[in-house]
Amino acid sequence: MKKKLATPLVLKDNSTSIYFDFEDEMLYEVKFKGALTSAFSGNQKSNTFFLSLIIIYLIAPVSLLLLNQFVFQNKLISLLVTYLLGGGIGYFLVKLVMSEIKEKLKVTPSAIELKRISKKSVRNGRVLNSTVVFFVLFSVIGTLISLSFSQQGFSKFLFYNTLSIFVIVGIITSSHPNRMIKAGKKLKKQMKEGNFDD
């Protein structure tokens, strides 16, 4: 089975998601079995997330000690170094977490069942809009909070900057807001054309 360029719009339960396929511009209900189902069940994702937060808490003071070894006459340079360091740490943690999750999400093509779904299911997938809105809001708020703490010391700035980058990149990597926006536009057009009429 050829791997499809698709984006998840909503997770219905531990074994079913709604996907939009960009190749044939169709909406599918995807049922997973085996490894993927067990990977999404329980608190595995939350445990991995909180483990990453603990790592961030440990990295922040260590990074502060490293920064104190350098004397920057220009505060802008210090701010830039701290921002790049925090961004790098956050990005690395996301890649680490996602690689661990992807290893446990491997399923054989025969375990996937694709079905066309109804217009009602499309309307119920409103998580598309909320996810995109949440991503934009968190990006703006996270950046503002991070910058505000830059006035109170580089340790706080480094921590909140790392946390913001971790969550923002995590959302981009896992839910693909850009693809979700494109899928949403195509779906609205298809609904107007009556493609999902019952």
Q: What is the DSSP string of 128-146?
A: HHHHHHHHHHHHHHHHHHH
Residue 107 — very low, low, confident or very high, per pLDDT cuts 50/70/90? very low
Sheet strand arrangement including 26-31: 6-11, 16-21, 26-31, 113-116
Q: What confidence score (pLDDT) does residue 108 get?
A: 44
Residue 69 tokens, joined: 């070894």
For residues 35 and 114, give the distance between their C-alpha atoms in angstroms, rounded to a whole number.
Answer: 17
Q: What confidence score (pLDDT) does residue 110 get?
A: 40
Per-domain residue ranges of the chain: 6-190
For residues 190 and 184, give the distance between their C-alpha atoms in angstroms, rounded to a whole number.
Answer: 10
Complete DSSP assignment for 162-197: HHHHHHHHHHHHHH-HHHHHHHHHHHHHHHHTTTT-
Is the pTM higher than 0.75? The answer reads no
| Mean pLDDT confidence for 57-77 | 56
More confident: 11 or 196: 196
List pLDDT tens digits, range 108-167: 444 455 566 666 655 555 445 555 566 666 667 666 665 666 555 666 666 666 666 776
List pLDDT tens digits, range 71-83: 455 556 666 666 6
List pLDDT tens digits, range 12-53: 555 556 666 666 666 666 665 544 444 444 444 444 555 555
51 by DSSP, 3-state: which? helix
* Polymer length in residues for the chain: 198
For residues 83 and 159, give the distance between their C-alpha atoms in angstroms, rounded to a whole number.
Answer: 10
